[in-house]
Amino acid sequence: MQLQFLGATKTVTGSKYLLTTQNKKFLVDCGLFQGLKELRLRNWNEFVVDPKTIDAVIITHAHLDHSGYLPVLIKKGFSGKIYCTDCTMDLCKLLLCDCGHLLEEEANRANKYGYSKHKPALPLYTYDEACAALKQFVPVEFDQEITLENELNVTFRRAGHILGASSVLLKHQGASILFSGDLGRPHDPCIRPPEPVTQAQYLVVESTYGDRSHALVDPERELGVVINKTAKRGGTLIIPAFAVGRTQNILYYIYSLKKQNLIPDIPVFLDSPMAQNVTEILATHYQEHLPSPEVCAEVCKTAHYVSSVEESKLIDTYNYPKIIISASGMVEGGRVLHHIKYFAGDHRNTILFAGYQAIGTRGATILSGVSEVKMLGGIVKINAEVIALGDVSAHADYAELISWIRKMPTPPKKVFITHGELPAAEALKQRIESTLGWECVVPSYLDNVELEERTNN
Ligand SMILES: [Zn+2]
Q: Are residues 208 and 320 in the same domain?
A: no
Q: How many Å lie between the centroid of ligand 1 and the Cα of residue 210? A: 15
Q: What is the pLDDT of residue 119?
A: 79
| pLDDT tops 80 at residue 276 | no
Q: Are residues 381 and 429 in the same domain?
A: no
CA–CA gap between residue 136 and residue 146 (Å, rounded): 17
Q: How many Å lie between the centroid of ligand 1 and the Cα of residue 63? A: 5
Please report, rounded to a whole number, the percentage of residues in the chain having pLDDT higher than 70. Answer: 98
Q: Are residues 169 and 119 in the same domain?
A: yes
Q: Are residues 58 and 177 in the same domain?
A: yes
Q: Is 456 within the bounds of a domain?
A: no
Quick check: helix, strand or coil at residue 26? Answer: strand
Q: How many domains, in total, are found in the chain?
A: 2
Cβ-based neighbour number of residue 431 at 10 Å: 18
**What average pLDDT does the chain have?**
92
Q: Is 142 within the bounds of a domain?
A: yes
Q: Is 42 within the bounds of a domain?
A: yes
Q: How many Å lie between the centroid of ligand 1 and the Cα of residue 61? A: 7
When mean pLDDT is compared across 57-66, 102-111, 158-167, 434-443, the lowest value belongs to: 102-111
Q: pLDDT band for 457, please (50, 70, 90 cuts).
A: very low
Quick check: helix, strand or coil at residue 385? Answer: strand
Q: How many Å lie between the centroid of ligand 1 and the Cα of residue 234? A: 34
Q: Are residues 205 and 291 in the same domain?
A: no
Q: How many Å lie between the centroid of ligand 1 and the Cα of residue 370? A: 27
Q: What is the pLDDT of residue 346?
A: 97
pLDDT digits (tens, 9 = 90+) for 166-225: 999 999 998 999 999 999 999 888 889 999 999 999 999 999 999 988 777 788 999 999
CA–CA gap between residue 352 and residue 344 (Å, rounded): 11
Q: How many Å lie between the centroid of ligand 1 and the Cα of residue 301? A: 26
pLDDT digits (tens, 9 = 90+) for 125-150: 999 999 999 999 999 999 999 999 99
Q: Which of 373, 392, 411 is the last residue of a domain?
A: 392
Full-model pTM: 0.86
CA–CA gap between residue 150 and residue 141 (Å, rounded): 18
Q: Is 363 within the bounds of a domain?
A: yes
Q: How many Å lie between the centroid of ligand 1 and the Cα of residue 58? A: 15
Q: What share of the chain is helix, strand, coil (3-state, %, to 5)?
A: 35, 20, 45
Q: What is the CATH number of the domain that holds 343?
A: 3.40.50.10890
pLDDT digits (tens, 9 = 90+) for 325-377: 998 889 988 899 999 999 999 999 999 998 888 888 999 999 999 999 999 88
Spell out the alpha helix ranges (H) of 317-375.
Answer: 336-343, 362-367
When mean pLDDT is compared across 127-131, 219-223, 414-418, 425-429, the lowest value belongs to: 219-223
- Distances in Å between the Cα of 414 and the Cα atoms of 157, 179, 195, 197, 442 are 21, 12, 21, 15, 11
Q: Are residues 176 and 78 in the same domain?
A: yes
Q: Is 8 within the bounds of a domain?
A: yes
| pLDDT tops 90 at residue 121 | no
Q: Which of 377, 392, 407 is the last residue of a domain?
A: 392
Strand partners, 178: 169, 203
Q: Are residues 305 and 444 in the same domain?
A: no
Q: Which of 369, 392, 415 is the last residue of a domain?
A: 392
pLDDT digits (tens, 9 = 90+) for 386-406: 999 866 678 899 999 999 999
What residues contact residue 105 under an 8 Å CB cut-off, 6+ apart? 333
Burial of residue 80 (CB within 10 Å: 0-12, 13-18, 19+) is: buried
CA–CA gap between residue 263 and residue 267 (Å, rounded): 11
144 φ, ψ (degrees, to nearest 5): -120, 120
Higher pLDDT: 454 or 316? It is: 316
Q: What amino acid is encoded at 341 in this protein? A: K
Q: Are residues 111 and 20 in the same domain?
A: yes
CA–CA gap between residue 89 and residue 34 (Å, rounded): 22
CA–CA gap between residue 140 and residue 85 (Å, rounded): 5
- Distances in Å between the Cα of 47 and the Cα atoms of 7, 62, 167, 229, 340 are 12, 21, 25, 49, 36
Q: What is the pLDDT of residue 219?
A: 87
Q: What is the CATH number of the domain that holds 153?
A: 3.60.15.10
Q: Is 455 within the bounds of a domain?
A: no
Q: Is 457 within the bounds of a domain?
A: no
Q: Are residues 278 and 308 in the same domain?
A: yes
DSSP 142-184: BT--EEETTTEEEEEEE--SSTT-EEEEEEETTEEEEE--S--
| pLDDT tops 70 at residue 456 | no
| pLDDT tops 60 at residue 455 | no
Q: Are residues 116 and 51 in the same domain?
A: yes
Q: Are residues 388 and 405 in the same domain?
A: no
Spell out the alpha helix ranges (H) of 244-361.
Answer: 246-259, 275-284, 293-301, 309-316, 336-343
* Torsion sign (Cα): 153, 157, 159, 162: positive
Q: Are residues 26 and 59 in the same domain?
A: yes
Q: How many Å lie between the centroid of ligand 1 and the Cα of residue 195? A: 16
**Nearest of 209, 201, 271, 204 to residue 236 by alpha carbon:** 271
CA–CA gap between residue 173 and residue 116 (Å, rounded): 50
Q: Is 369 within the bounds of a domain?
A: yes
Q: How many Å lie between the centroid of ligand 1 and the Cα of residue 393? A: 10
Q: How many Å lie between the centroid of ligand 1 and the Cα of residue 419? A: 10
* Domain span at 408: 2-212+394-450
pLDDT digits (tens, 9 = 90+) for 279-311: 778 878 888 888 888 888 888 889 999 989 999
CA–CA gap between residue 436 and residue 271 (Å, rounded): 45
